[in-house]
Amino acid sequence: MMSATELLCIAPSETPQLHLQPCEAPRMGGHEVLVRVHATSVNPIDVKRAAGYGRRLLGLKGAARFPLVLGNDFAGEVLAVGKHAARWRVGQRVLGALPTGPRGAHSSHVAVHLALMCELPLGHDFASACVLPYSFTTVWRAFRSIGLGPDTAAGQSVLVHGASGGLGLIALQLLSRWGARVTAVCSARHFDMCGQMGAHDFIDRLGAGLRQAPAKQHASLNFGSWDDDAAVMRCLAPSAIGHATAVHPLLASFDALGWVGGARHAIGAWHAHRRMLRAQSPQAKLSWTVYQPDADAIEALGALMHQDPIGLPVGLNVPLARGAQAFDHVAQQLPGRAVMNPGLSERK
Ligand SMILES: NC(=O)c1ccc[n+]([C@@H]2O[C@H](COP(=O)([O-])OP(=O)(O)OC[C@H]3O[C@@H](n4cnc5c(N)ncnc54)[C@H](OP(=O)(O)O)[C@@H]3O)[C@@H](O)[C@H]2O)c1
């Protein structure tokens, strides 16, 4: 067996209990590709999962049983190709996102389904690429769930709450390219960055906040806070197409209240918000977006990487052995995404 290294999260704790250890490279199935990981990112979900978040729902697929290898995103190089994965070849540069499971991407090697990665063109570095797939997939799913896309966004107004984060900045880049007029809701210190990424109008969430947001929006996206979800929806026009939120209380409800109480709470919150939305915008769709592996999204990301790449700022790139620093970077919401590099020596 090929030897590998993985960053193990030992037990749920507010201070992530991380341990770098040697392991065997994962076995590759016929529809899979074995990738040597050159860069993997820490997303907010990794920090939450390290503290035990999602223990009930994610536990159903073994993704909350410690010790765990966290992480979804990777960028690297193809080492071996399964017998039904012949569209890939050894040596190709790739990026992709794994399903959320017990053996994630914070590792030197991953086995990936052939449809969950795309080619990384020359000229793009692994660190900048590995911060994209998980967030892009989530944004793509949010857009698709409410019918937002190149054909429906042109000329329309869209409000993005949490615009300065990973999801928000990807949404700004896509929407502005599609010709939408985008209002970014974020801290005032992030207005410039959001403007560079395509936002036209800005609301300081720590100032007048959503009270000042323009009304009659065609669609809204909440990547900021569930507490603001009703206020975000109030910005929609009667003819709006929909509202998607990625910060809904689905996982937290089950964690806090158990199976029965959690289901009752989550369903109650869903219906209450759907009633609010219907009263305001009768045709609008409501989406509680959940990250899932999504071959269409990865294909779309691959096409963009070749034609008109998007990007996110990287704030930290450290060896896998310094994973605690990367988790801390994300927990403290320091600027830019946090990347870990299994190939970097610890001294660098
Ligand atoms: N449901 C899913 O499957 C799924 C998938 C991916 C992500 N998510 C969640 O979606 C959220 C956004 O992800 P991300 O990767 O974009 O996170 P991120 O990069 O950490 O950015 C979040 C942004 O939200 C803003 N913010 C922080 N606290 C806030 C608050 N109390 N109220 C409103 N805005 C606040 C911050 O910007 P300013 O300070 O500039 O306002 C920050 O830039 C996270 O909670 C993440 O866990 C969910």
Calculate Rg over the CA atoms of the chain.
Answer: 20
Residue 17, pLDDT score: 97
Instruction: Report, as an integer, the average pLDDT of 140-157.
Output: 96
* 208 — pLDDT class (breaks 50, 70, 90): confident
Residue nearest to atom 31 of ligand 1 (CA): 225
Nearest CA owner, ligand 1 atom 29? 224
pLDDT at 221 over 80: yes
CA distance 160 to 172: 8
The span from the CA of 265 to the CA of 263, in Å, is 5
Which pLDDT score, from 0 to 100, does residue 166 have?
98
Cα of 126 from ligand 1 centre, angstroms: 23
Whether residue 209 has pLDDT greater than 90: no
Return the pLDDT at 173.
98
Note whether 160 and 320 are within 8 A (CB): no
Q: What gap in Å lies between CA 204 and CA 255, rounded to an integer?
A: 32
Specify whether the CB–CB gap between 259 and 207 falls below 8 A. Answer: no
| Pocket of ligand 1 from Cβ distances under 6 Å | 43-45, 135, 138, 162, 164-168, 186-187, 190, 205, 223-225, 228, 246-247, 289-291, 333
Between CA 232 and CA 227 the distance in angstroms is 10
Tens digit of each residue's pLDDT (9 = 90 or more) over 6-43: 999 999 999 999 999 999 999 999 999 999 999 999 99
Strand order in the sheet with 3-9: 18-24, 3-9, 68-69
How many helices and strands in the chain, by DSSP H and E? Answer: 10, 16
Name the closest-CA residue to atom 48, ligand 1: 246
pLDDT over threshold 80, residue 346 = no
Q: What is the pLDDT of residue 345?
A: 63
Q: Does the pLDDT at position 348 exceed 90?
A: no
pLDDT tens, residue by residue, 40-86? 999 999 999 999 999 999 999 999 999 999 999 999 999 999 999 99
- CB neighbour burial string for 318-332, b if at least 16 within 10 angstroms, e if fewer: bbbbbbeebbbbbbe
- Which tens digit of pLDDT belongs to each residue from 302-322? 999 999 999 999 999 999 999
Residues 180-192: pLDDT tens digits? 999 999 999 999 9
CA nearest neighbour of 218 among 236, 233, 231: 236
Burial group, residue 167, by CB count within 10 angstroms (0-12, 13-18, 19+):
buried
The proportion of the chain whose per-residue pLDDT surpasses 70, expressed as a percent, equals 99
Predicted confidence (pLDDT) at residue 347 exceeds the cutoff of 90? no
Mean pLDDT over the full length of the chain: 96
DSSP 5-65: EEEEE-S--SS--EEEEEEEPPP--TTEEEEEEEEEEE-HHHHHHHTTTTTTTGGGGTTTS
For ligand 1, the distance from its centroid to the CA atom of residue 22, given in whole angstroms, is 33
Provide the percentage of residues in the chain whose pLDDT is more than 90.
95
For the cut 70, the answer to whether the pLDDT of residue 4 exceeds it is yes
Residue with tokens 């809904």: 248
The Cα 48–Cα 275 span in angstroms is 30
Residue whose CB lies within 8 A of the most ligand 1 atoms, among 172, 190, 205, for a mutation test: 205
Q: Is the pLDDT of residue 122 over 90?
A: yes
| pLDDT of residue 212 exceeding 90 | no
Distance of CA 17 from the midpoint of ligand 1 (Å): 23
What is the pLDDT, as a whole number, of residue 311? 97
Q: What CA–CA distance (Å, rounded) separates 245 from 152?
A: 19
Residue 237 corresponds to which tokens in the numbers above?
């026009």
